[in-house]
Amino acid sequence: MYVFLSDGLNQFAVDLYRELGKTEPKNTFFSPYSISLALTMAYAGADGETAQEMASVFHYPVSISDLHAVLNSLDQSLYVIPDYMEGEESGFSLNVANSIWGQADYPFLSTYLDVLAKNYGAGLRAVDFKHQAEQVRQDINDWVEEETQDKIQDLLPPGSLNPETRLVLANAIYFNAAWRNEFVKELTENKDFYLMDGETVPVEMMRQQDRFRYKNNERLQIVELPYVNTRYSMVLVMPKEQDLLTYQQTLDHQTLSADLEKLSSGELILSMPKFEFEDGFSVADTLRSLGMASAFSPGQANFSRMSEPQSDPLFISDVFHKAYVAVDEEGTEAAAATAVIMEATGAMIEDPPIPLVFDHPFMFLIRDEQTGIYLFMGNLLNPADG
């Protein structure tokens, strides 16, 4: 049911991942799903060229009415707990929340607000950007902080909202999951992690022997680590023939999908680093580069499906995103938030275990096996950079 939509969302995820690799090399982490949800709430009010550009960037193949209903169904499916976890202390938590903050006297169309309420669970919070922009900014940041268990703080920086702001569309996602088979802490030891410049940094390297789905050839090595809720997993991808940033620039959705579909199952001695870091950036320039230009242009943006014809037309002034990830012997904690700001214009062991060591920069992602959605993506260039 969700294949056509998840495929488009994942194409956008890889496009965004590739585009972010053009910036200064650093540890990178983001939630393409969070960014997609926040901007699709804006897309619900777009029309004309603006809607066409947004649909193209997000690879949406369906009509507006069908899209939001299917996306809502997909989102709700993420919460379905497998039968084997019912009634148990699960070691798994997932929260996806949306909110709408609109200028109290701005004439938003009821049809637009109904789409967001019905499909995104977000009712309009009437606020006063004209006179209390700083207070509203703090309120939005407080909402994000609460929805992400305090992991995402200060999503909107000072000055990001002003008296011309009319609408903020926000999404927050929180993920906390134990591994299906945890790493034994006593086996964790200090090892070298090799940076792209040839230098090394010490890292706490976790180690365990178990059966995993994996790939190991002359081009790259991949391993999939299932969580206790086995519909979710973390996938590590470490290129061998080229450095990670070169791999990132040449990656496309079809290649990644093919690599993830063709994993073998075998006994591994897996070594990977513990790491924790956060990342934050404006997505606006990246979205422009991907082809979403008119939405950010006063006088060209067409969000006429949001408000009454006599109202001041809206455009997207910025898109802020922030994400956090921590990986240790017990599992993974990850969180992210996105805010779209709109302003008015004026088994048995048969073979010896295979050692698989992730001690060079690698890509990683957290995905839902059932829908295929990539919830989070990132690069680990240096585990010493927290």
Q: Residue 72: give its domain's CATH number.
A: 3.30.497.10
Give a yes or no: residue 38 inside a domain. Answer: yes
Structure tokens, 360: 């060079």
Q: Are residues 225 and 195 in the same domain?
A: yes
How far, rounded to the nearest angstrom, does the alpha carbon of residue 341 sit from its chain's CA centroid?
Answer: 18
Domain CATH number, residue 241: 2.30.39.10
pLDDT per residue as tens digits for the range 257-266: 999 988 999 9
Backbone angles phi, psi at 8, to 5 degrees: -65, -45
CA–CA distance, 82 with 360 (Å, rounded to integer): 35
Give a yes or no: residue 209 inside a domain. Answer: yes
- Residue 384: pLDDT above 80? yes
Q: Are residues 104 and 242 in the same domain?
A: no
- Residue 62: pLDDT above 70? no
pLDDT score for 309: 86
Instruction: Give the mean pLDDT of the chain.
Output: 93
What is the band of 86 on the pLDDT scale with cuts at 50, 70, 90?
Answer: low
Percent of the chain exceeding pLDDT 90 equals 84
What is the band of 80 on the pLDDT scale with cuts at 50, 70, 90?
Answer: confident
pLDDT score for 243: 93
Asked if 17 contacts 31 with a C-beta cutoff of 8 angstroms, the reply is: no
Total domains, the chain = 2
| Better-scored residue on pLDDT, 23 or 113 | 113
Q: Are residues 288 and 355 in the same domain?
A: no
Q: Are residues 97 and 246 in the same domain?
A: no
Give a yes or no: residue 385 inside a domain. Answer: no
Backbone angles phi, psi at 145, to 5 degrees: -60, -45
pLDDT score for 347: 44
What is the band of 89 on the pLDDT scale with cuts at 50, 70, 90?
Answer: low
pLDDT score for 349: 44
Pick from 30, 48, 61, 44: nearest CA to 286: 30
Q: Are residues 154 and 213 in the same domain?
A: no
| Better-scored residue on pLDDT, 309 or 333 | 333
What is the band of 66 on the pLDDT scale with cuts at 50, 70, 90?
Answer: confident
pLDDT score for 374: 97
pLDDT per residue as tens digits for the range 18-60: 999 998 899 999 999 999 999 999 999 999 999 999 999 999 8
pLDDT per residue as tens digits for the range 225-239: 999 999 999 999 999
pLDDT per residue as tens digits for the range 167-223: 999 999 999 999 999 999 999 999 999 999 989 999 999 999 999 999 999 999 999
Pick from 110, 94, 362: nearest CA to 221: 362
Q: Are residues 141 and 62 in the same domain?
A: yes
- Residue 348: pLDDT above 50? no
CA–CA distance, 11 with 345 (Å, rounded to integer): 32
Q: Are residues 168 and 46 in the same domain?
A: yes
Structure tokens, 102: 């609109």
pTM exceeds 0.75, yes or no: yes
Tell me the average pLDDT across 301-307.
95
What is the band of 64 on the pLDDT scale with cuts at 50, 70, 90?
Answer: low
Enclosing domain of residue 302: 3-177+277-344
Q: Are residues 84 and 198 in the same domain?
A: no
Q: Are residues 255 and 327 in the same domain?
A: no
Give a yes or no: residue 368 inside a domain. Answer: yes
CA–CA distance, 210 with 270 (Å, rounded to integer): 8
- Residue 246: pLDDT above 50? yes
pLDDT per residue as tens digits for the range 127-182: 999 999 999 999 999 999 999 999 999 999 999 999 999 999 999 999 999 999 99
Give a yes or no: residue 386 inside a domain. Answer: no
pLDDT score for 84: 72
pLDDT score for 187: 95
pLDDT score for 87: 58
